Structure 1
Amino acid sequence: MSKFGLREISTFLVALFFGTGLVICSKAILSMPISNSTSDGSGGGDDHDNESSTTTFQKPLLLTFGMFFASLPGLPLHWLVLAFRIPFPGYDFDVGSEEVDDVCKDDAIEEGIKKVVTLHEDATVGTKRRNNVLMPMWMYFYLAIPAIFDFGATVFCMVGLQYLDASVSQMLRGSVLVFVALMKQRVLKDQLYKFHWVGVFWIVMSVTFVSAATLLLSVSSSSFEDGEGSSSHHVTTSLIVLGLCQIMFGTFLQACHFVSEEHMMRMSIPVPPLLLVGMEGFWGTVFCICVMFPVGYYLPGSDNGSYEDPFHTWDVFVHSRNIQMVFGIYLFFAFFYYLFAILVTFMQCSVWNALLDTFRPITVLVTELFIFYCVSPLIGEMWTKYSYLQIAGMAGLIYGTAIYNAPNGGSLRLEGQWWALGINLSKEYDEIRREHEVKPKRTNSSVNLLEPTLKPMT
């Protein structure tokens, strides 16, 4: 059982807002047209003719780079919080040291000055590390692990987003909860109950509904002459399937990323959220420059003979103010989404970070429909006859998530109700409550270091 008060709810909703804006901006950039003159001036114009004016800005690797580049401000913010001791979640500057001083003064006479001073120094160093003042150098390299997972997840999800609607992509990524649940049991050794797996089952069924709706829509609009479907449907069925596979594999890597972040913030030397954001941005930027862009340039493709030509990308970027403006908004949403998503993991656990990807499809679909009918059909998503399957998938995602989150507040408990389909798991909920009630209260760890040496004063 976990606390989910006003602060936790506010953090989750803010992360949901910025996550929705991030997805909308990503799809908008990938759908923006490239002018004919810009395409021809890129230097490899043998493959471009006068029809190239209809080409869209299909540059997923640039968006991947932007995700990590936007996280770099986390490092100066981390140092600013440490320098001025600014109150921020994950930074506890005033915990422990004063209590150690008081205990040492009272017991120095009985135990000997040397022994107490040694324990005091050890406790002070431990307190500083727990309060993020001291951080060993190896930790900065160790933080490359979640960055690697995030790098792979972002690449695959951005590439797959080219062939799918934004809301469909987010609904598929909602299956991250399945992978997180498996890894929390196998890697973090957390116990999962039967109701957890019931929730996972409904989430899997929801992802199946969404995938079926996507494939049916791609088949029915294969001629592309009836105008049904949004701009993302102007691809073949094989590319739709490829996009689905890429999104699912990226979702698996994203689950590894969430679990590794939770592990980093739960270690004996916990990593503060701002440092985690900044170092993931640093390592991700290094991977993009040293690995992703060179590989994308030398891989064969339709972008001037490359999968993605960074020189052509730069040429298009500097000649398009619209792309620059939307990309700037994209960076803004990316930083705050990363920051608040990690705060959600810090305040709750990696499952709640995964729940962001479960709830985002709802806000993304509503926003996409609004954009299509009220702003521009080029970057929005229209309602089709298969959208009902997507709604069914959303309902299943919410239902499975509410079951998984039991017995916390706002969840659904399977106790034989009609909507529980006769499943009664009351004994499991009672067992969790009993364990929660008898769980011992936490004590200050710096005081515990001195407890074995204390004796009554005579």
Structure 2
Amino acid sequence: MAWTKKQMMLAFIMVSTGSINTISAKWTDRIYSKNSHGNVVKFNHPFLQADCMFMGEMTCMAAFYILRILRRRARQGASELALDSDQMLRGAVIVFTGLLSVGFLGRRLRYFHWLGIVLVLIGLVVVGLSDFISSSQTNQDLNGIITGDLLIIMAQIVTATQMVIEERFVIKHNVPPLLAVGWEGTFGFLTLSVLLVPMYYIPAGKLSGNENGTLEDAIDAFVQIGNSALLALSLLMNIVSIAFFNFAGISVTKELSATTRMVLDSVRTFVIWVFTLLVQWETFQYLQPIGFVILMLGMMLYNDVIILPFLRSCGVIQDQRVPETIPVLEGVDEVDKGSTYGGTVDPF
């Protein structure tokens, strides 16, 4: 089934703002600023950056209620008148999303799903090998590379779980994406803001990115932000882009599916990879594009797009395409009497 203009717009917003979000975060990590000790160092405050991202998600809550008020007034008026290797490794999320969809969403994986998962796994191995080769060429710590790759893979298990639960939740309970992102940001912001206090006192040794040697030094972070307008700008870009990215992401999940969201996230990865090469933040490694192509082939097979439809049109295979999800949102502009938030089914 062809995408509507609305779905294409959501996909574009997700890819563009998601790319801006990751690029701005990487840019933030490369900016030097004077810290609380009077030294000019790189900004290295990951937990505060995460808190800023949650703050961006919180703005979706405000936007939801503002739009809700405006719509109510409009109805009243009407009645009166009548976002690199680490990014590529994130492709692992489609494997876990597919497997978890079986248990949580009651889906049945067909032959092309399993073939897609195998290709994604092969692509991940190729990308992982590129990291090892790069580490030997640049004298980087091999243990650090392995640890980083494993942490990324583990994070994708958590991300896949989140995507599947979100899909089940927003469809079953008809939760507006703006409201869902707003609550996610509010909970994350409040939780992490409280945790920043003990983090200021917890010694972290080699894991620390500040001169106090603690897990996080929020005071030092604010000093650096105050001393660099460029740093403040990059964080602002991160806050704004994450709001649009997550809104578009959950909207895609609701309009299409969780795995479609993962495919679009892979497109975002390609945009980020090309950008980092153009600005020379990363060096080219020949295995990376090979791994990326394998990953994309696996994802296209898994989602039954381009490859299998072409083979069907040529008569090579005879099976019929089966919709991944029940089209519960086809009447997206129609009145839904069961809706709790304003009576219409839409991204807001």
What is the CA-CA distance between 1:309 and the residue it aligns to?
A: 1.6
State which structure, 1 or 2, has the greater radius of gyration over its C-alpha atoms: 1
Q: Give unpaired runs (5+ residues) of structure 2.
A: 76-82, 339-348
Instruction: Identify which of 292, 299, 317 aligns with 1:401.
Output: 299
| 1:178-223 superposed Cα distances (whole Å, 9 cap, x missing partner) | 111011111111121111111111111111111110111012210x
Show the counterpart of 1:354: 262
Distance 2:20 2:117 in 1: 27
1:402-421 CA distance string (max 9 Å, x none): 11121x5x34359599xxxx
Alignment equivalent of 2:53, drawn from 42, 55, 67: 67
Residues 340, 296 of structure 1: alpha-carbon distance in 2 compared, 3 angstrom cutoff: farther
Is 2:300 the partner of 1:300? no
SS at match of 2:57: coil
Q: Distance in 1 between matches of 2:156 and 2:293?
A: 20
Aligned to 2:108, the other structure's residue is in SS state coil
Kept after mapping to 2: 8 A contact 1:176/1:357: no
Q: Report the equivalent of 1:382.
A: 283
**TM-score normalized with structure 2 length:** 0.83
SS at match of 1:174: helix
Q: Distance in 2 between matches of 1:74 and 1:63?
A: 18
Q: Please report how far the alpha carbon of residue 12 of structure 1 lies from its aligned counterpart in structure 2 after TM superposition.
A: 0.9
* Contact preservation (8 Å) 2:203, 2:214: yes
Contact 2:126–2:291 (8 Å) recurs in 1: yes
Deviation (angstroms), 1:10: 2.4
Q: Which amino acid letter does the alignment assign opposite residue 401 of structure 1? A: M
Structure 2 Cα separation of the partners of residues 33 and 217 of structure 1: 25
Residue type at the aligned position of 1:357: D
With over 3 angstroms needed to count, the CA separation of the structure-2 counterparts of 1:209 and 1:252, relative to structure 1, is: same
Equivalent residues in 2 for 1:4-403, closer than 5 Å = 4-35=3-34, 38=35, 40-41=37-38, 53=40, 55-85=41-71, 167-222=84-139, 235-267=140-172, 269-291=173-195, 294-295=198-199, 297-301=201-205, 302=208, 303=210, 304-372=212-280, 380-383=281-284, 387-403=285-301
* 1:446, distance to aligned residue in structure 2 (A): 6.0
Q: Deviations over 1:32-85 (max 9, x none)?
A: 2244xx3524xxxxxxxxxx64x4212111221111100111112211222222
Specify the code of the residue in structure 1 equivalent to 2:10.
T
The alpha-carbon distance between structure 1 residues 276 and 445, as it changes in their structure 2 partners (threshold 3 A), is closer
Is the CA contact (8 Å cut-off) linking 2:88 and 2:266 kept in structure 1? yes
Q: CA deviation at 1:274?
A: 0.9
Give the paired residue count: 322
Cα distance change on mapping 1:291 and 1:6 into 2, 3 Å? same
**Cα gap change, 1:30 to 1:445, in 2 (>3 Å):** closer
CA contact (8 A) 1:22 1:330 kept: yes
Q: CA deviation at 1:368?
A: 1.1
Alignment-mate amino acid for residue 92 of structure 2: S
Q: What is the alpha-carbon distance in structure 1 between the residues aligned to residue 275 and residue 107 of structure 2?
A: 36
Partners of 2:294 and 2:162 in 1: CA distance: 25
Structure 1 gap ranges (5+): 42-51, 88-92, 94-165, 223-234, 373-379, 418-423, 448-458
Q: Deviations over 1:307-332 (max 9, x none)?
A: 22222222222222221111111112
- Assess if the C-alpha contact under 8 Å between 2:33 and 2:227 holds in 1: no
Q: Which is bigger in relative contact order (C-alpha 8 A, separation at least 6)?
A: 2
For residues 175 and 400 of structure 1, the distance between their equivalents in structure 2, rounded to whole angstroms, comes to 11
Question: CA contact under 8 A between 1:265 and 1:346: conserved in structure 2?
Answer: yes
Task: State the shift of 1:86 in Å.
Answer: 7.4
- The one-letter amino acid of 1:69's match is M
Cα distance in 2 for residues equivalent to 1:215 and 1:208: 11
Partner SS, residue 84 of structure 2: helix
d(CA) in 2 for partners of 1:339 and 1:388?
35
- Distance in 1 (CA, whole Å) between partners of 2:267 and 2:244 is 17
Shift of 1:342: 1.3
**Counterparts of 1:351 and 1:189, CA distance in 2:** 14
- Cα deviation per residue 1:414-441 (whole Å; 9 max; x = unaligned)? 9599xxxxxx7633x36x38x99xx9x9
The letter for the 2-side match of 1:21 is I
- 2:105 is paired with a residue whose SS is coil
1: CA distance between counterparts of 2:2 and 2:143? 45
CA gap of 1:293–1:388, structure 2 versus 1, over 3 A, is: farther
Aligned mates of 2:335, 2:63 — CA distance in 1: 28
Deviation at 1:401, TM superposition (A): 1.4
